[in-house]
Amino acid sequence: MGNSSTSSTTTNTMSSPSQTQIDAQVTAFLERAKEDFDLRYTQPAKQTAKLDDFKLQRTVGTGSFGRVMIVQRGNQSLALKVMEKQTIVKLKQVEHTLSEKKILQAIKFPFIVNLIHSFKDNSHLYIALEFASGGEMFTHLRRSVGKYSEDQTRFYAAQVALAFEYLHYLNILYRDLKPENILFSADGYLKITDFGFAKVVRDRTYTLCGTPEHMNWLYKCFTQ
């Protein structure tokens, strides 16, 4: 009764992007990141805070020429790296310290700690970084008897690989990767920290540097 019509149902399926498309998107992202880095890296240093702006809470680590403290500014917790100028000069670490600050102010990546503030006074240099409340990978490895599951290992290794792809595209050599320098944020993702040995390299570098214990281990791996 009446006119009958046949309707065809079309199912639209979302096709996955090809590897070529993915590679193009990654390259475009890295190109933009390099432009942003080059712009920020050449900007003159600015003091964006002062020590009185922070409520000092506790010391969580000490180093050769300073310490790291958890501080509060408003409702934000930060990790404040406090470095003694006199000790930096005495240990001939001026170049490394300035390089770390310049690199940190210019890089922006999800798996690398963000620099929030930097400032100085007559006796100290200060770098305020986002606080990774999950602690060091080194501590977690000790608690898990030095082992992660295969899925965990893939998950964390992928984040480190992405961070290094970003850094290397910017011509940055990190040169101090170890569990102590990999932090966990509150959501369980990684944050690479401590850029004291990092360097922007346009051509080649011939400096031998790093943490001695890890360098000895690598030497044995490649010579045995």
Higher pLDDT, 96 or 144: 96
- Report, as an integer, the average pLDDT of 140-164: 92
- Let me know if 38 is a catalytic residue: no
**pLDDT, average across residues 137-165:** 92
Of 45 and 108, which is predicted with more confidence?
108
User: What whole-number distance in Å separates Cα of residue 45 and Cα of residue 119?
Assistant: 9
Query: pTM for this one?
Result: 0.83
Higher pLDDT, 9 or 51: 51
Element (H, E) at 136: strand 135-136
Distance of alpha carbon 136 from the chain centroid:
13
Residues 95 and 207: their CA atoms lie apart, in Å, by 13
**What confidence score (pLDDT) does residue 201 get?**
94
Coil, helix or strand at residue 202: coil
Give the least confident one: 1-10, 30-39, 168-177.
1-10
pLDDT in tens, 71-91: 999 999 999 999 999 999 999
The pLDDT assigned to 64 comes to 82
DSSP letters of 31-98?
HHHHHHHHHHHTSPP-----GGGSEEEEEEEE-SSEEEEEEEETTEEEEEEEEEHHHHHHTT-HHHHH
Per-residue model confidence as pLDDT tens digits over 199-222: 999 876 656 555 555 555 555 555
Give the Cα separation of 57 and 65 in Å (integer). 20
Q: Which of 121, 176, 194, 203 is catalytic?
A: 176
Residue 18 token pair: 């090809």
Fold of 41-219: Transferase(Phosphotransferase); domain 1 (1.10.510)
Q: What percent of the chain has pLDDT over 90?
A: 74
Q: What is the pLDDT of residue 223?
A: 56
The candidate with the shortest Cα–Cα distance to 49, out of 69, 67, 72, is 72
